[in-house]
A and B are shown apart, each in its own frame.
Chain A
Amino acid sequence: MTRFFKVATVLLASVFTVSSVQAETLTERLANGDKLRLGFGTAVPWAYAGDNGEALGFVNAIALTVLEEMGIEEHETKVFEWSGLIPGINANRSDMITGGMYILKSRCENINFSDPIGVFGDAMLVPKGNPKNINNYQDVIDTGAKLVTGTGFNTVEAAKKYGVPDSQMLLVEGEVGILAAMKAGRADVAVQTFFGAKEHEAKTGGQFEVTDPKLMPKETLNVVGIGFRKSDEEFRQAFNAALAKVMASPDTMLERAGKYGYDRAQLPPPSMTTEWACATK
Chain B
Amino acid sequence: MDRRVESLSVEPGEEEVAGWGRHPVGRGRVERPERLALPAGAEPLVPRGLGRAYGDAALPSRPGGLVLETTRADRIHSFEPATGRLHCEAGLSLAEILRVFVPRGWFPPVTPGTKFVTVGACVACDVHGKNHHRDGSFGSFVDHVTLCTADRRLVECGPDRERELFLATLGGMGLTGLIVDVTLRLRRVESPWIVLETQGMASLDAMLEGLRLSATHWPYTVGWIDCLARGADLGRGILMRGRHATQVEAGTRRARRAMPLRVPFDAPEWLLNPVFVRWFNRLYAWSHGTALRRRVVSYDAFFYPLDAVGQWNRLYGRRGFLQYQCVLPRAAGPRPVAALLERLGVAGAASFLAVIKDCGPASDAYLSFPMEGTTLALDLPNRGAVTEALVHDLNATVIEHGGRVYLAKDAVTRAEDFARMMPRLAEWRAVRERWDPGHRFRSAQSVRLFGDAPA
The reply to whether chain A is a binding partner of chain B is no
